[in-house]
Structure 1
Amino acid sequence: MPTYNLKINGKSREFEASDDMPLLWALRDQLNMVGTKFGCGIGQCGACTVHVDGNAARSCQLTVSQLDGKEITTIEGLSEDGSHPVQEAWKEIDVPQCGYCQAGQIMTASAFLERNPNPSSKEIRGAMHGNICRCASYNRIEKAVALAAENKLT
């Protein structure tokens, strides 16, 4: 089995995996980084969203062999203490119900706000559209993204 060395959350991480192993399973099973969740396995729900070179990406759809030289950030690496403005806004608005999708929601929102720091409500809804929340916390998610964009919590 090949050995991979990926830069994850700013650190070099070495592990063995088959070439076709999805990043999601490498994170969870090889590196014990379980903040990234399995949702659907086909890239449709967003629960497994991470950042690859600063862009939101579905980790269930990326194989470890595709990621050489890429910078990967997981929910664990967004901030060490949960103080990222999006995480703070999530707490302030009390977004989660069950919480299962929230890591993916936060990763999508934070990548979006890096590209568009002053979004409209329509832009927020569009950016978050691909992330499914089974508890239907969409209104609170939108409010939290808007609050993080206002930067009132930093």
Structure 2
Amino acid sequence: MKSDIEIARECRLKPIEDIARQVQIPVDELEHYGKYIAKVPESLIDEKKVENSNLILVTAITPTKAGIGKTTVSVGLALGLSHIGKKNIVALREPSLGPCFGLKGGAAGGGYAQILPMDKINLHFTGDFHAVTSAHNMIAALLDNYIYQHRDEGFAMK
């Protein structure tokens, strides 16, 4: 059996513009993160299409010892739906936290259910993780300052 990296290296990636055209997303609306990754603005959501569509949300899963988790399940599900002729799109957000915290998994799925380019899947995937970290640090600093400023009112722990 081929390894994940062997399978990934055999794949020819399509430019993100080609993928966008396939699903009728205007190319000039893409926010590019290289040749193969982009964000799509929420303003392009067509509420009428949403009402006539189904959403499958994979929010939590205990990964197997082989590292099969949310990404592998999500990509495998999309491949299966495509195979039976169903239109679908997979939206993944920061799929790399498991390995970063020392948990099992390769963050990009596995086998023939991978997201590519896997070398781009890291904590700074699209810059969102930095924004979340900055917001967390700001809230922590504000709370720390509030506790300090109101310590005489009994707010701080003693």
Structure number with greater CO (CA < 8 Å, separation at least 6) is: 1
- Greater C-alpha radius of gyration: 2
TM-score (norm 1): 0.24
TM-score (norm 2): 0.24
Q: Greater share of helix residues, 1 or 2?
A: 2
Q: Greater share of strand residues, 1 or 2?
A: 1
